[in-house]
Amino acid sequence: MTGHRPFSELTKGFTPERRARVAAKAAQLREAMTLEELRKAHDLSQEEVAASLSVGQPAIAKLEKRADMHVSNLRRYIEALGGTLEITAHFGNESVVVENIGEPTAAA
């Protein structure tokens, strides 16, 4: 025996309360992901994202490890995954979506 069992088998004895806690924790984990985790969650390889952005795979590996980057690069990466980037500023109980950040500017 390999010791591997389906998750459903491992959790079938959980109480409804424990199932709710597990579901809440899973939802919380989905709310915060690294770029690498986000890419993997969308079942994409670094090579696929690189092709979409017309860059090499090493550029994607480097981007995923960066702690600081241009918002425009982050926007392009997210769009390559099929998403859209939205930046929200929080002020106490107020939230404001910041627009036009990292988007190409129109020529004057």
pLDDT, average across residues 18-25? 82
Strand partners, 95: 90
Reported residue count of the chain is: 108
Q: Which amino acid is at 105?
A: T
Secondary structure of 23-83 in the HEC alphabet? Answer: HHHHHHHHHCCCHHHHHHHCCCCHHHHHHHHCCCHHHHHHHHHCCCCCHHHHHHHHHHCCC
- Is the confidence at residue 28, as pLDDT, over 90? no
- Delineate the domains of the chain, giving CATH numbers in brackets: 34-108 (1.10.260.40)
pLDDT digits (tens, 9 = 90+) for 50-89: 999 999 999 999 999 998 999 999 999 999 999 999 999 9
Say what the pLDDT of residue 71 is.
92
Strand partners, 98: 87
Say what the pLDDT of residue 107 is.
55
What are the structure tokens assigned to 98, written together?
């910041």
Please tell me what DSSP assigns to residue 85: -
pLDDT, average across residues 5-16? 80
Say what the pLDDT of residue 24 is.
79
